């Protein structure tokens, strides 16, 4: 089985590991940079840009893969799955028309509304500034303003956090309209966020284990939003603040959205649907969908996947996900990202880092995973690029143990880096559980 992988982050390193665990699989990777982890797992490795269509097609013609797996959001949104289909190569990633689920927030809000699916907060889409102020006032000054395009997770600004009041809201809305032609404004929800990623074959939806990400850069959820500083999942495949009903409700939303997508576009979504949900006072709300695996969330789920991942990919493409049993180990996981100092606003770059004693002697083989993200491997060692550098994942029977494993590895990275020691700790998780209890009056 020959697989063409596109992407070079820690997410794709983790995907590459899962794909190559399958007996007889062979990986050829097309990437923007040399990720030392993916490079070591690949038979062929081609550097190139995601927008260079002829370079992608040339490599695909040479590789002749049985299927492709596209990791990052930008080549998915740009239609690389459509491009590969011209050669008859199917991708575990959606075609451009259904990838709008992620690339256009207004498309998804409208779709959910049009098909009467629950989960939307109060929202409106504006194409000019007419009525913006009135709506911000209607929301009682508690609002969220979303740029309607791919912004690397940095296009969403929230009142009280990033926007001091209605005037600043108007200013940002104007900027968004200037850049993308429209803006989404919605009610500010209060609750706990969780990520529920699902394997999707066009018709069937099979959920992975729910995960909680940490978007803020610094300890105690302070500082600017990032791509995600780390994440955790529980051994019972719930989250400490989540009920089974919350999870069932989120699943039902994804099933309905998948069906609505087909009705709306005539195209089947095949790949990963990643719902960002919020558990709120009276249920579950939809924050957004992504059309790919989450980064870091993928690192919480694929390492504990018991089912052969290549088999799952084949079932996604064949439309028979209902015919296979997909299982995850009953383990807790904690992922922590090492990032360059100054990330995300003014990251240092080009500085050397060293990893001492990769696996502490007390940690069992397989209980600690390391995935490379933005690093540059030179003959004399590893260098930082300007984004998240390395992720460590601890895997254990309890969250406490998983956290300790990840934590012990983070301390071994020396250089101009930082990470969040609080991710996955009892203190932080209890805070979240307490917040939910208070909100729901239980």
Which residue ranges make up the site for ligand GLY (CB under 6 A)?
A: 153, 213, 227-228, 290, 294-295, 297
Among 6, 93, 139, 156, binds ligand AMP (CB under 6 A): 156
Cβ atoms of 193 and 276 closer than 8 Å: yes
CB of 227 to ligand GLY, least distance (A): 6
Residue 189 interacts with ligand AMP (CB under 6 A): yes or no: yes
Whose Cβ is closer to ligand GLY: residue 145's or residue 197's?
Answer: 197
Q: Which two tokens stand for residue 1?
A: 């089985």
DSSP 39-51: HHH-SEEEE--TT
Q: Report DSSP state, residue 328.
A: B
Q: Which of ligand GLY, ligand AMP, none does 288 bind, CB closer than 5 to 8 A by kind?
A: ligand AMP
Contacts of 43 (CB under 8 A, 6+ apart): 26, 27, 28
Whose Cβ is closer to ligand AMP: residue 18's or residue 189's?
Answer: 189
Of the listed pieces 24-32, 185-193, 242-250, 434-442, which binds ligand AMP according to CB under 6 A?
Answer: 185-193
Q: Report DSSP state, residue 163.
A: B
Q: Which two tokens stand for residue 185?
A: 């404004």
Beta bridge partners of 110: none
Rounded to whole angstroms, how far apart are CA atoms 15 and 350? 26
Residue 33 interacts with ligand AMP (CB under 6 A): yes or no: no
CB of 146 to ligand AMP, least distance (A): 6
Query: CA dist 391 to 94, 413, 431, 432, Å?
Result: 26, 11, 24, 23
Of the listed pieces 62-70, 171-179, 181-189, 427-435, which binds ligand AMP according to CB under 6 A?
Answer: 181-189
CA 295 to chain centre: 4
DSSP 69-80: EE-SHHHHHTTH
Report, in this order, helix, strand and coil percent for the chain, each rounded to 5: 35, 30, 40
CB of 402 to ligand AMP, least distance (A): 23
Within 10 angstroms of residue 296's Cβ, the number of other Cβ atoms is 30
Q: With b meaning 16 or more CB within 10 Å and e meaning fewer, what string describes 59-90?
A: bbeebebbbbbbbbbbbbbbbbbebbeeeebb
Whose Cβ is closer to ligand AMP: residue 193's or residue 264's?
Answer: 193
CB of 361 to ligand GLY, least distance (A): 32
Q: Which of ligand GLY, ligand AMP, none does 399 bind, CB closer than 5 to 8 A by kind?
A: none
Residue 287 interacts with ligand AMP (CB under 6 A): yes or no: yes
What binding mask, one character per residue, do residues 191-210 give for ligand AMP by CB under 6 A, x or -? --x-----------------
Whose Cβ is closer to ligand GLY: residue 78's or residue 297's?
Answer: 297
Whose Cβ is closer to ligand GLY: residue 65's or residue 75's?
Answer: 75
Whose Cβ is closer to ligand AMP: residue 224's or residue 360's?
Answer: 224
The tally of CA atoms less than 13 A away on the side-chain side of residue 96 is 9
Q: Report the length, in residues, of the chain.
A: 442
Residue 416 interacts with ligand AMP (CB under 6 A): yes or no: no
Residue 215 interacts with ligand AMP (CB under 6 A): yes or no: yes
Rounded to whole angstroms, how far apart are CA atoms 406 and 398? 13
Whose Cβ is closer to ligand AMP: residue 189's or residue 253's?
Answer: 189
Of the listed pieces 1-9, 18-26, 184-192, 294-302, which binds ligand AMP according to CB under 6 A?
Answer: 184-192
Phi, psi of 221 (to 5 degrees): 55, 40
Rounded to whole angstroms, how far apart are CA atoms 432 and 362? 30
Q: Which of ligand GLY, ligand AMP, none does 99 bind, CB closer than 5 to 8 A by kind?
A: none
Among 22, 33, 48, 121, binds ligand AMP (CB under 6 A): 121
CB of 27 to ligand GLY, least distance (A): 22
Query: Secondary structure of 367-411 in the HEC alphabet?
Result: CEEEEECCEEEECCEEEECCCCCEEEEEEECCHHHHHHHHHHHHC
Q: Which of ligand GLY, ligand AMP, none does 188 bind, CB closer than 5 to 8 A by kind?
A: ligand AMP
CB of 209 to ligand AMP, least distance (A): 19
User: What are the counts of helices (DSSP H) followed by strands (DSSP E) for the chain?
Assistant: 14, 25
Residue 439 interacts with ligand AMP (CB under 6 A): yes or no: no
How many residues bind ligand AMP (CB under 6 A)? The answer is 15
Tokens 């009682």 correspond to what residue?
140
Q: Which of ligand GLY, ligand AMP, none does 121 bind, CB closer than 5 to 8 A by kind?
A: ligand AMP
Q: Which residues bind ligand AMP (CB under 6 A)?
A: 121, 144, 146, 153, 156, 158, 186-189, 193, 215, 276, 287-288
């Amino acid at each position: 089985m020959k697989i063409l992988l596109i992407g070079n982050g820690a997410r794709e390193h983790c995907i590459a590991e899962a794909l190559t665990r399958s007996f007889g699989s062979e990986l050829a990777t097309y990437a923007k940079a040399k990720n030392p982890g993916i490079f070591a797992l690949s038979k062929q490795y081609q550097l190139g840009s995601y927008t260079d269509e002829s370079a992608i097609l040339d490599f695909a013609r040479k590789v002749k893969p049985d299927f492709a797996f596209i990791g990052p959001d930008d080549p998915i949104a740009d239609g690389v799955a459509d491009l590969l289909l011209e050669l008859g190569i199917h991708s575990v990633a959606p075609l451009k028309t259904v990838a709008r689920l992620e690339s256009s927030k207004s498309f998804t809000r409208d779709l959910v509304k049009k098909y009467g699916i629950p989960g939307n907060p109060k929202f409106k889409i504006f194409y000019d500034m007419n009525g913006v102020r009135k709506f911000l006032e209607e929301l009682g000054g508690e609002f969220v303003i979303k740029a309607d395009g791919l912004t690397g997770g940095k296009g969403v600004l929230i009142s009280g956090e990033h926007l001091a009041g209605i005037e600043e809201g108007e200013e940002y809305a104007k900027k968004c309209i200037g850049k993308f032609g429209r803006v989404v404004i919605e009610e500010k929800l209060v609750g706990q966020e969780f990520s529920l990623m699902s394997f999707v074959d066009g018709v069937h939806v099979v959920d992975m284990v729910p995960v909680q990400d940490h978007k803020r850069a610094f300890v105690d959820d302070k500082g600017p939003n990032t791509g995600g500083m780390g994440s955790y999942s529980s051994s019972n495949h719930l989250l400490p603040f989540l009920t089974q009903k919350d999870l069932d409700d989120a699943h039902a939303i994804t099933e309905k959205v998948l069906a609505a997508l087909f009705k709306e576009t005539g195209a089947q979504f095949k790949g990963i649907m990643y719902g960002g949900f919020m558990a709120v006072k009276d249920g579950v709300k939809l924050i957004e969908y992504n059309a790919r695996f989450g980064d870091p969330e993928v690192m919480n789920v694929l390492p504990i996947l018991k089912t052969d991942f290549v088999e799952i990919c084949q079932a996604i493409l064949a439309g028979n996900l209902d015919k296979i049993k997909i299982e995850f180990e009953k383990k807790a996981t904690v992922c922590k990202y090492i990032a360059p100092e100054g990330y995300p606003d003014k990251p240092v770059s080009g500085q050397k880092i060293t990893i001492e004693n990769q696996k502490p002697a007390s940690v069992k083989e397989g209980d600690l995973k390391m995935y490379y993200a933005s690093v540059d491997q030179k003959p004399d060692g590893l260098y930082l690029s300007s984004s998240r550098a390395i992720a460590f994942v601890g895997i254990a029977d309890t969250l406490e143990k998983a956290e300790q494993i990840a934590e012990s590895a983070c301390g071994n990275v020396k250089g101009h880096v930082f990470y969040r020691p609080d991710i996955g700790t009892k203190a932080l998780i209890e805070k979240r559980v307490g917040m939910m209890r208070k909100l729901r009056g239980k």
